[in-house]
Structure 1
Amino acid sequence: MTDRTAPLGMGFTWQQLRLGQRFRTFGRTVTEHDLMGFVALTGMQEPLFVDATHAGALGARPVPGALTHALIEGLVLTGMAHGTGLALLETHIRPLAPVRVGDTIHAEIEVTEIRPTSQGGRAVVRSAIRVLNQRDEPVMDYDATRLIRGDETA
């Protein structure tokens, strides 16, 4: 006997998505711990990121764009593709403005392409993602192309 009850928090299968469909993630405040953990993990030991007294061209306490992207991807995957995402195939990132320690970021997502694969049971799904801060100012745009599984009962 197989239990076909969907688990709570399951992402969308490709058949549940529609062109033009829009989503908004929850917000996430970027902390000092996020920044220091990320630069330690990646080796980005630039004064811009590790010296709290440094105020360069981007001002005080900016975070790497890669950290902004990683935090938003966590929010996107949790809400949209948790358990259904098979692979991130491609992404094009365009930073627009600095994100700083203490900023709260969220994303707006629009499904822009759904292309079922020849192998069946999956599709390539492209989305446009806009990252905004707590003042609803855009700080990053990116496109993501993912391989999403299908509904096994469809």
Structure 2
Amino acid sequence: MKLLGEGFYWNDLSVGDTFKTFGRTISETDIVNFVSAVGMLESLFVDAEFRAQHSAIDGRPAPAALVYSIAEGLTLNATGQGTGLAFLQMELNVEGPVLQGDTIHVEIEVTEVRATSKQGRGLVRTKNRIVNQRGETVITYTPLRLMAGRD
């Protein structure tokens, strides 16, 4: 019986494969819960008066760490469910702000696929672009993941 929602196996992927996730709108609740849970109680995120007087960004910004975390949820639920074994490394570049009310999705391109020395496992690197509703790339990151292989 096929397991619904199962992720990709490393040996089913090829360099150049591309995917796009569904979108997710960033809410005030997302921002409040995230900054409270992780202790990121920076005035920019919790003080509307400070933000109005001192911020270089119009609107209520979401921490890049929150945006990246939501992007990982969108990505892994669609690609690594049951097949992802470990997150190993990445480079992350913030290219623009994400504000409360923005909707993001992730565009994924496979850039590296190779077997490991241990049978049944492989390494997969992707270039993930987090894109807002205006088509602007707001964050780019390049995760390297250890993934299960198909028998």
TM over 0.5: yes
For the residues of structure 2 that align with 1:92 and 1:76, how far apart are their CA atoms? Answer: 16
Q: Within 5 Å, which residues of 2 pair with 1:43-58?
A: 43-53=39-49, 54-55=51-52, 56-58=55-57
Runs of 4+ aligned structure 1 residues displaced above 3 Å come to: none
Q: Which residue does 2:11 correspond to in 1? A: 15
Partner residue, 2:84? 85
Say which SS state the counterpart of residue 76 (structure 2) adopts: helix
The structure carrying a bigger helix percent of its residues is 2
Unaligned runs of 5+ in 1: none
- Looking at structure 2, the residues matched to 65 and 9 of structure 1 have their Cα atoms a distance apart, in angstroms, of 27
Give the match for residue 118 of structure 1: 117
Q: TM-score, normalised by structure 1?
A: 0.93
List runs of 5+ in structure 2 lacking aligned partners: none
Distance 1:49 1:82 in 2: 32
Give the number of the structure whose residues are more often strand, by fraction: 1
Task: Give the whole-Å Cα distance in 2 for the aligned partners of 1:52 and 1:9.
Answer: 40
Residue 105 (str. 1) matches residue 101 (str. 2) = no
* Count of residues in correspondence between the two structures: 148
Q: Secondary structure at the match of 1:45?
A: coil
Q: Distance in 1 between matches of 2:33 and 2:2?
A: 34
Residue 66, structure 1, aligned to residue 62, structure 2: no
C-alpha separation in 2, matches of 1:105 and 1:13: 26
Q: Distance in 1 between matches of 2:121 and 2:99?
A: 38
